[in-house]
Structure 1
């Protein structure tokens, strides 16, 4: 065990691990998922790929895990051709039977949950329990989608004309393009694909190039289910690649809906490109999430919640807590307890038991972390804990960091995808809510209080302006039954539960005249 010093004498631990053991784990994991050191990254009923070969690197060690032959423009065109054909077959399968196929996919994923979770840890860098938990998210949303396949209900609408019936009907869109990010290389695709499939759509997936092995592994599992049921494999197509492939999906009229998860800057470009051709777009973009801890809060509960919300996935969740507003009466005591909690965090090999914080995904993320720390100091802030990149270690490790800074400092309004938590003192709840809402992003937010009055004000029209508004739980995540997404620069999209399924279908208002007469609406006579 090696120890690394933090600010004010606090210490964090990092567990050393054997390179030989890591190589062995990688080999066993790839073999269990039907992967090799070299893999094809295009699937549209057959496997192929003519683009660049991209290596996946373990962010904890810097070692190459494997390589994937990405798609090029020709591969994408062929994949969209096959997906369009497959969609015409899939849409004619009754929705409950589509649900049965998704149920089989769910079971196939469950059988591989351990190696899939390990692959996520190896390739993305999140700790193993989170990697397995991410695969479980896909399994859970598949369960949800199976039930949904029998509840894709329209509605009957009263007609003002005698002998007429009005109703609302939902039909498949056709092809859904899913562009997912590195930080959730399984779950985001699962949210989209499981629901989209029971709605009757074919799906074309482009994951992050740096997590292409995970994309290939998931697609292999789904393809086997489709082939076993004599269905076109292109229902679940894969086109790995970089920005050019994402741009191709956004521009192509054959893609009826583009679901994009990523940064606000890129999401803005995707939205404009899709809108230019009058396509549909579902955006899950940046988050700059805040927790407010009032003076009547359960402090033990709040400290535990904030620790995971700010440090989990090494701060690389869109729902990571990045701002912490503390009432002035509890501020000093709370900071002291939070620093002690941070001192117990083990950082290191995400596959090791007891590790709570793995590496950042890339070297550039470490650079962004260091730039964020420098900006805090330039803008009048202080580092209360951490603040260092651990560049003497293999991999992309940094210290989870606590700052003290003004609520309106520019660095506080910028999402830095790293474990930096900005703490701010406030005097009254109205002030804290105003500061919560002043940033451009609007994904997730939480208030810790025991006051029913403050709880209901928080979730009301004068409260948080975020898409996810919590009380006495952290900002991270949401149960699959609720819609996930946010407002403002977060993009306005919704995934997972509630009525999110409606985004993957086209709504039709139908009027049937069975009267033999031709009365016009609004009493208009035309004779």
Structure 2
């Protein structure tokens, strides 16, 4: 359990319900750096025995975990809603993603395939094998406190690695619950260790563990700034981390788009989970011919969104994850400039009884709620165009030519997700080809993932690593080649190939 991984400098911290800050969801003692290093040391010792467990049996463990999560789906979703403020319907979808991930990797336990490769030499066979890396340290964020950890933990464990998991301090209760389900599903004690720690402690403990040779892989989901630090640390130890970072995800609306469908997609992309997804919509890029009509429809739809208590079925989005998330979002609002236009309601920032929102359900003063904000007139030179806002804010921009739309979709430097609304197949495929995002949707939102599809980004959104599906296996295994020579004499590969070529040419002539 988590308490086994605490260090000597124990200190408590609390996780509060963001819909009602009076409600303490859990109180945990945070580890010091020695605690994280000790957890890595224990996981490192356990790795060889876990790797010797046949991969199909490790797949059965993933199946067991998925079954237990399914049996506890409603309870886990309710805990997600309570701890991070995600509407209950969305929380159920997140838990289903954990189940889907476990289902997928049950099969991969029987498909950790290598290859038999033909040799250029006679009487020689070549083989390739996937090998586990060793011990992984996985650091996850609060906005998807169950699904994203599962994206890392399930394939890492399936491939024969051991894991030290450091969840967000804002989602410690969900982490404890998910950790117990993994343990109950058959994951041995030291094969998966849970450590609660703050960011600086995690960095210090990870640095020590890397120096001792205890960690062979880092997985990190979080901000681009923090990802840079993790990447630099990994690079000093000649490692390539798996990074899933921020996004400024564009949604292009062409002049032939179905505007009603585009509005629906933009609303969901921008304001689901209160805009706190790495794939949340950053900017709508609308053709000038339809810009004004789109903006009118979009603003009206945003005005009608119901905000409030995330336990209520009518709610579109609930609170931000916590007070520090609200403070960061307020910083994003400071990027609004005089040449911008607040479309629809002009109320911004925190929703309170003194700054109310029409149709709000619940007690606005009890939680951490924010007004949805639509900012029109954003230009490519604006800092708002280049900055991830991570909250309920969407920019709207205009374009004239397809080349300009592509430039705006790529120009902010992020490359996680993008969407285009068009009736033209040619336009859709051309956008896919020229867009730098790792994931592209056509006539669909910028958000959403499936367990068997690669997930990840480029540029400021990541280092090209991918999660989910068969592609994540390359993050948690290395390729080993083997050559078996049964000629009974030394064969010197390329040095002897010339002789073979000459002999072959002679015989063919």
Please report the TM-score for the alignment, with normalisation by the length of structure 1.
0.87
Instruction: Tell me the equivalent position of 2:279.
Output: 319
Task: Find the residue that maps to 1:104 and give its secondary structure.
Answer: helix
1:207-246 superposed matches below 5 A? 207-226=167-186, 232-246=188-202
> Do structure 1's residue 53 and structure 2's residue 7 form an aligned pair?
no
**Kept in 1: contact 2:8–2:32 (CA 8 A):** yes
Please identify, of 148-157 and 364-373, the stretch whose mean Cα deviation from structure 2 is larger. 364-373
**Kept in 2: contact 1:157–1:167 (CA 8 A):** yes
> Do structure 1's residue 522 and structure 2's residue 479 form an aligned pair?
no
Please identify, of 237-246 and 208-217, the stretch whose mean Cα deviation from structure 2 is larger. 237-246
Mapped partners of 2:3, 2:240: distance in 1: 24
Mapped partners of 1:458, 1:384: distance in 2: 28
Instruction: Tell me the equivalent position of 1:382.
Output: 341
Instruction: Tell me the equivalent position of 2:469.
Output: 497
Q: Following TM superposition, by how much is the alpha carbon of 1:85 offset from its aligned partner in structure 2, in angstroms?
A: 2.1
Instruction: Tell me the equivalent position of 1:479.
Output: 450
What do the CA deviations read for 1:249-279 (whole angstroms, capped 9, x no partner)?
2552311110000011110010111111123
What do the CA deviations read for 1:224-247 (whole angstroms, capped 9, x no partner)?
232xxxx63121210111113421
Instruction: Tell me the equivalent position of 2:91.
Output: 131
Mapped partners of 2:330, 2:240: distance in 1: 38
205, 221, 231: which one aligns with 1:261: 221
Please identify, of 335-344 and 465-474, the stretch whose mean Cα deviation from structure 2 is larger. 335-344
Instruction: Tell me the equivalent position of 1:395.
Output: 367
> Do structure 1's residue 449 and structure 2's residue 422 form an aligned pair?
yes
Instruction: Tell me the equivalent position of 1:421.
Output: 394
Q: Following TM superposition, by how much is the alpha carbon of 1:349 offset from its aligned partner in structure 2, in angstroms?
A: 0.9
> Do structure 1's residue 82 and structure 2's residue 42 form an aligned pair?
yes
Unaligned stretches of 5+ in structure 1? 1-39
Q: Following TM superposition, by how much is the alpha carbon of 1:123 offset from its aligned partner in structure 2, in angstroms?
A: 0.9
What do the CA deviations read for 1:279-320 (whole angstroms, capped 9, x no partner)?
331000110000001011112211111111100000100000
62, 67, 70: which one aligns with 2:21: 62
Task: Find the residue that maps to 1:499 and give its secondary structure.
Answer: helix
162, 169, 191: which one aligns with 2:151: 191
**Kept in 2: contact 1:258–1:281 (CA 8 A):** yes
Please identify, of 358-367 and 291-300, the stretch whose mean Cα deviation from structure 2 is larger. 358-367
| Distance verdict in 2 for CA 1:235–1:49, change over 3 Å | farther
What do the CA deviations read for 1:145-186 (whole angstroms, capped 9, x no partner)?
101111111122221111111121111111111100111111
Q: Following TM superposition, by how much is the alpha carbon of 1:41 offset from its aligned partner in structure 2, in angstroms?
A: 3.4
Q: Following TM superposition, by how much is the alpha carbon of 1:477 offset from its aligned partner in structure 2, in angstroms?
A: 1.9
1:291-440 superposed matches below 5 A? 291-378=251-338, 380-386=339-345, 387-389=347-349, 390-392=351-353, 393-404=365-376, 405-440=378-413
Task: Find the residue that maps to 1:311 and give its secondary structure.
Answer: helix
Mapped partners of 2:473, 2:198: distance in 1: 28
| Distance verdict in 2 for CA 1:99–1:50, change over 3 Å | farther
Q: Following TM superposition, by how much is the alpha carbon of 1:525 offset from its aligned partner in structure 2, in angstroms?
A: 8.9
Please report the TM-score for the alignment, with normalisation by the length of structure 2.
0.90
> Do structure 1's residue 112 and structure 2's residue 72 form an aligned pair?
yes
> Alignment length, in residue pairs?
479
What do the CA deviations read for 1:63-83 (whole angstroms, capped 9, x no partner)?
222211222233223312221
Instruction: Tell me the equivalent position of 2:459.
Output: 488
CA-atom RMSD in angstroms: 1.9
What do the CA deviations read for 1:17-52 (whole angstroms, capped 9, x no partner)?
xxxxxxxxxxxxxxxxxxxxxxx73356xx999622
Instruction: Tell me the equivalent position of 2:485.
Output: 513
1:165-180 superposed matches below 5 A? 165-180=125-140
Instruction: Tell me the equivalent position of 2:165.
Output: 205
Task: Find the residue that maps to 1:78 and give its secondary structure.
Answer: helix
What do the CA deviations read for 1:392-445 (whole angstroms, capped 9, x no partner)?
422111111111121331111100111110000111211101110101211000
Instruction: Tell me the equivalent position of 2:503.
Output: none
